[in-house]
Amino acid sequence: MVSLYSMTSSNPGSIDRLDAALIKLLAAEPRIGVLETSRRLGVARGTVQARLDRLRDRGVISGYGPDVDPAALGYEVTAFITLEIRQAGGHDPVAERLAAIPEVLEVHTITGAGDMLCRVVARTNADLQRVLDAIVSTEGVVRSSTLISLATQVPYRVLPLVCAAASGTGPQRSLWPACGSGANRGVLVLATPEPPFCLTRTGRVC
């Protein structure tokens, strides 16, 4: 096992390969303890705790789950709704009202033809009409346009981004190919002059 203690970055706005390995391990096993994490990564317990504190303080790690699948709760329909709103009131009041609708998962201010984009869920297509009625009746909303998602081809993910962000630090070798493509998809490889250190999807050492 290769020690990663020295794989640090002088740029406070970046992450290195140890940060990436730590994030991937926590994503795979959110309930893993600091001691077991240090054993898996081959670094001191204090190093793991310091890295966690730094990543939390910087907002890189914003939570530890759990991830909830709306479909498993019975909300099997996902839709994206573009809204046009009255400009006089602004976006914030409308967003606050939309946040009161449980089926509204996200709301973004956007450019283009519309003013806001919502990601919503519903139990059925008929139930989606109920959700749409609630959204359209929200004060400040002028009109809406809806697209129903048929399938999720690429689910929300951040680990490939973590790998890409870490690839420019530490030993000179790109981290992204081993993280996100080919036969090694989902495996984080930390290349060093010695045999590579890697973590599988479950956080196990390769």
Query: In this predicted structure, what is the pLDDT of residue 63?
Result: 84
Residues 74 and 60 in one domain: no
Answer yes or no: is 10 within a domain: no
> Are 171 and 134 contained in the same domain?
no
pLDDT in tens, the chain (206 residues): 333 333 444 455 588 999 999 999 998 898 899 999 999 999 999 999 999 999 999 999 988 878 899 999 999 999 999 999 998 889 999 999 999 999 999 999 999 989 999 999 999 999 999 999 999 999 999 999 999 999 999 999 888 989 888 876 444 444 434 454 443 444 444 433 333 344 444 444 44
- Which distant-in-sequence residues (6+ apart) come within 8 Å of 121 by Cβ? 70, 75, 76, 77, 78, 79, 103, 105, 131
Locate 27 and state its tokens: 């994503």
Looking at the domain assignment, is residue 113 inside a domain? yes
On whether residue 12 sits in a domain, the answer given is no
| Residue 59's CATH number | 1.10.10.10
What is the phi/psi pair of residue 184, to 5°? Answer: -95, 15
- Kindly state whether residue 5 falls inside one of the protein's structural domains: no
204 falls within a domain: no
The predicted structure's pLDDT at residue 12: 54
Q: Provide the residue range defining the domain that includes 55.
A: 17-65+157-199
Same domain, 77 and 58: no
Specify if 11 maps to a domain: no
Residue 83 belongs to domain with CATH number: 3.30.70.920
| pLDDT for 86 | 93
pLDDT score recorded for residue 64: 80
Name the residue with tokens 């790690």. 61
DSSP SS3 for 56: helix
Full-prediction pTM beyond 0.75?
A: no
Q: Buried b / exposed e across 4-36, counting CB within 10 Å, b at 16+?
A: beebebeeeeebbbbbbbbbbbbbbeeeeeeee
Has residue 60 been placed in a domain? yes
Determine the Cα–Cα distance for residues 199 and 146; give it in Å rounded to an integer.
41
Cα separation, 166 vs 7, in Å, equals 10
According to the model, what pLDDT value does residue 206 have? 40
Is position 175 within any domain? Answer: yes
Do 181 and 127 reside in the same domain of the chain?
Answer: no
What's phi and psi for 43, nearest 5 deg? -130, 170
State the total domains in the chain. Answer: 2
Query: Is residue 95 domain-shared with residue 126, that is, in the same domain?
Result: yes
